[in-house]
Structure 1
């Protein structure tokens, strides 16, 4: 059977005005009337984003407000896996299209709030305050006392044509004529200064504190150095992502030795370094150094136990740092010495 060909596009090409290009893509643009999303070329043709990241940005932009767009939610909605979704979200976050922040709700619950912006570059542009709409100058009002016998002129269409007023009898005391030109002169609106630049992206509240140094042992003995080197070199057998170079192993040996010096078993150290690690571990040296520093256990409390000794006089057991006599024998010998001296 022959494969059915869709000839609708070929018929549409005949209706395009003008000559068609000899090569390259030919666009047949049909105007959308419903269910469409506007995507800018700054996103569609972004040179620093992968095609996967651009695709997820378009999909996120097309979702309604309030839709969950976490890694697991997107992986369940679309055919891509969680690793591919996580890589695309990291790209969008690095270029400013996506921002994820942990927020505490009024009830005390902590949630992750995700914000997507279709034009992150526009957030850094200076904002200009909108000028108030210009109002037409009000018609001047010339007031003069009117005798009680003369009715006041009706306010009609004659006032809408301009400042010309109907003739009225001259009163005995009228406003000076010099004030009329001042009233008729329209006041120029005050120049509006541009509002200062107000960035929408808040600056960091405070500089980050320096990272704590790698813990050091009181004394790096050859035995501690040997065990630490073997533990670090063997990490990649348990987790392939923790492959360390020889130089990195040499730098991390003091940190592991500080743990061993505190009576921590090597298997416990290996479990603390590799458990619940992010996927993937991009910088294993920095990750191991961070965990050796922040997860350092407290030093073990050593209690000195006084050993038992056997009394040389009565052969009773008593606690003392060195052999000798018990308290009763020492008291008896002291009493005998006093009597002999007397």
Structure 2
């Protein structure tokens, strides 16, 4: 591969000072065999003295190392297209690093099925990847999977949600607790002292969706720490079908007519918005997550007041690039990268590029 003028000059100067050939310097730079330890030490000392940094692209291409990254994330479903966004970011990164011999394989699971998670995880391990990116759900099952990954000493990146206490290369996603606190602050500015607030968790397996519970804890802690007297009611909807969610929500709203604000802890806020719209309840402030088409449609009509967005495409992209940088020793990787917490309204959604 043709080197840049600056790099060629550097390699020439190193070879001159060490009294060796340019080829010998190149072998040391790319850690190839055929150079004695004494010569290697001499050349490395000169490299350090000159503060020489070889062209990273040339180094990667010269290494010719083939690596396989495994991606374990939920599948896009009829209920939500949220996971299409991280997937798009992952694919963008995969396209960029393909030239360096990196292949990316995808393993999808159903958010409503633990068995599908186990099947995807087992298939992933059978194919012996060099690194893993995962979006964890089903806490106990994910922790068991992570244990197997760490036993194999594979670099592991979490996106969208981390697993508390579980080591990995890095976590890239929202600060879940602070995200919940932000939602509480938005609602607190728009309600009266006598109003009640409903937090809604829509999940078939809430105990294993700890990221929803951490948002809820952050939400409640804001009101507790601020001395706010509004009563907060929690509603768990463990059947994500519209008809079932409608029945459960209407029962709660009938029993608690003072509810004037609803906080939905995930992207299924459009389900609640659809129920409120169907029953012409337009006096309830509604806050939820993610820049999805269904959510934007209800944001435009005013049924959803605020959307909190976490840049899922960027999460996917940065997750793959973290593995790439780590394995090719391009740069260090931070233990966590928290996404900005974006607040989207019907007035600014057209300009959002998150």
Give TM class, smaller chain.
Answer: under 0.3
Flag the structure with higher strand content.
Answer: 2
Kindly name which structure, 1 or 2, has the bigger radius of gyration based on alpha carbons: 1
Q: TM-score, normalised by structure 2?
A: 0.21
Flag the structure with higher helix content.
Answer: 2
Q: TM-score, normalised by structure 1?
A: 0.22
